[in-house]
């Protein structure tokens, strides 16, 4: 299988490694490089990081931290109930239960290797396996609970290195009439928005529909529907059925999306080489903005200490000399420092009056944030973003 390097994003820390005061220098770094797989058209990291370095009992991200996401998962759960009427639901990567809690009256199981998160859903009385998704675990689940009508996984399959085993384990747990729903950031959207920050240690892959279609050709899973989502800066929700299930029709959207991606050049190496050039340009322009504002002695903070922003800040070498501190609503991040760049994260209590500019780490929640920060903008406060190109808004 031929793999070709197309972008080197430099030296990076573990994105989940939010540092406590006093230990900012004991960090693990790796080289974040992106590769194109010629056969499957898959885009992945060159160096995968050992899973337990990233997913452990100190996992910080809470899927329910934003009102946008809480509402989106509630809405999705209602739609799944209406469309598929499932009697059993398995979620791979159940995080803090934001989705699976809507199925607590059915046979519902969560899989979540981060023990601190698994404890949250266990407290909600949802049976949760605090293990990584493997063939072994899927056999254990089938033995104890039988197979499932719906298997759902958001922002997780792209984090698992062995895709062959992952899909096999899913096939194993799915009823013959069952549906597997995968939701992950869209490669096409990342390319269009030059949001290179979708690439970090956890995101072993950023999927195109083309690559997922190629990979699952070797399995009994068949793509039958796709929804485009605004979440996480542009995601795809992809529905799979078992190939033998003739009752479910394949939506015209599948061939439409595949054609769209083909037209954009998702299958071609040239597209990624062009993307790499745009990323390097984006870096230069973002640094220029920060340097200019620093010279003018402007007070700059960060807004939303996202995992994505770790890629931007470490790639562009924007550290605590430029950004005074980050504001973030996640309680487990408060009082800690951003990995690699050592910027203090403060608990969000509104933007203080002395702030001139806020770097939008959570650019994917721009609408929610702009609604909330009307007063800041009214008094002349501005945001800095790098998506789709570095600018002040």
The nearer residue to ligand JHZ, 146 or 331, going by C-beta atoms, is 331
The nearer residue to ligand JHZ, 54 or 215, going by C-beta atoms, is 54
**Least distance in Å: CB of 308 to ligand JHZ?**
4
CA-CA distance, 138 to 172, in Å (whole number)? 7
The nearer residue to ligand JHZ, 94 or 213, going by C-beta atoms, is 94
Q: Identify the burial level of 23 via C-beta atoms within 10 angstroms of its C-beta, where 0-12 means exposed, 13-18 middle and 19 or more buried.
A: exposed
CA-CA distance, 111 to 153, in Å (whole number)? 10
The nearer residue to ligand JHZ, 270 or 378, going by C-beta atoms, is 378
Burial 203-236 (b: 16+ CB within 10 A, else e): bbbbbbbbbbbbbbeebbbbbbbbeebebbbbbb
Residue with tokens 């745009």: 278
Long-range contacts of 345-350 (CB under 8 A, 24+ apart): 345/18, 345/305
**Least distance in Å: CB of 213 to ligand JHZ?**
21
The nearer residue to ligand JHZ, 86 or 361, going by C-beta atoms, is 361
The nearer residue to ligand JHZ, 95 or 108, going by C-beta atoms, is 95
Please report which helix (H) or strand (E) contains residue 10, including its range. strand 3-13
**Least distance in Å: CB of 26 to ligand JHZ?**
22
| DSSP SS3 for 370 | helix
**Least distance in Å: CB of 61 to ligand JHZ?**
4
**Least distance in Å: CB of 270 to ligand JHZ?**
28
Residue with tokens 């056969």: 39
**Least distance in Å: CB of 120 to ligand JHZ?**
15
Burial 42-77 (b: 16+ CB within 10 A, else e): bbbbeeebebeebbeeebbbbbebbeebeebbeebb
CA-CA distance, 372 to 323, in Å (whole number)? 21
**Least distance in Å: CB of 322 to ligand JHZ?**
19
Residue nearest to ligand JHZ (CB): 304
Both structure tokens of 41: 């058209």
The nearer residue to ligand JHZ, 235 or 271, going by C-beta atoms, is 235
**Least distance in Å: CB of 366 to ligand JHZ?**
9
Residues that bind ligand JHZ (CB under 6 A): 61, 65-66, 155, 202, 232, 304-308, 328-330, 333, 348, 362, 364-365, 368-369, 372
The nearer residue to ligand JHZ, 69 or 169, going by C-beta atoms, is 69
């Amino acid at each position: 299988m031929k793999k070709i390097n197309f972008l080197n994003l430099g030296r990076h820390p573990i994105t989940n490694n939010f540092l406590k005061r006093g230990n900012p220098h004991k960090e693990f770094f790796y080289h974040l490089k992106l590769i194109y797989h010629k056969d499957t058209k898959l885009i992945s990291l060159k160096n995968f990081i050992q899973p337990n370095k990233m997913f452990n009992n100190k996992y910080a991200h809470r899927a329910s931290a934003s009102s946008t996401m809480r509402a989106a998962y509630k809405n999705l759960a209602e739609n799944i109930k209406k469309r598929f009427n499932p009697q059993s639901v398995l979620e791979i990567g159940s995080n803090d239960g934001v989705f699976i809690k809507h199925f607590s009256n059915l046979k519902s199981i969560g899989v979540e290797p981060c023990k601190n998160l698994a404890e949250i859903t266990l407290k909600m009385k949802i049976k949760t396996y605090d293990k990584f998704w493997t063939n072994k675990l899927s056999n254990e689940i089938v033995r104890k609970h039988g197979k499932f009508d719906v298997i759902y996984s958001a922002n997780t399959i792209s984090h698992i290195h062995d895709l062959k085993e992952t899909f096999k384990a899913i096939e194993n747990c799915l009823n013959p009439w069952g549906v597997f729903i995968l939701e992950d950031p869209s490669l096409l959207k990342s390319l269009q928005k030059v949001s290179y920050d979708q690439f970090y240690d956890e995101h072993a892959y950023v999927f195109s529909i083309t690559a997922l279609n190629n990979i699952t050709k070797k399995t009994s899973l068949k793509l039958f529907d796709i929804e485009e989502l605004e979440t996480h800066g542009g995601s795809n929700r992809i529905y799979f059925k078992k190939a033998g299930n003739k009752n479910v029709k394949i939506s015209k959207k599948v061939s439409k999306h595949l054609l769209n991606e083909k037209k954009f050049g998702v299958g071609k190496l040239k597209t990624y080489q062009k993307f790499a050039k745009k990323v390097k340009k984006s870096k230069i322009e973002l640094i220029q903005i920060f340097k200019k504002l620093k010279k003018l002695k402007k007070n700059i903070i960060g807004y939303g200490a996202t995992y994505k922003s770790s890629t931007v800040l470490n790639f562009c070498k924007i550290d605590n000399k430029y950004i005074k501190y980050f504001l973030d609503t996640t309680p487990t991040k408060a009082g800690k420092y951003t990995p690699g760049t050592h910027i203090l994260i403060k608990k969000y209590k509104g933007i203080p009056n002395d702030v001139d500019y806020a770097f939008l780490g959570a650019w994917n929640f721009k609408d929610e944030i702009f609604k909330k920060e009307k007063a800041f903008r009214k008094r002349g406060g501005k945001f800095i973003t790098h998506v789709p190109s570095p600018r002040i808004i």
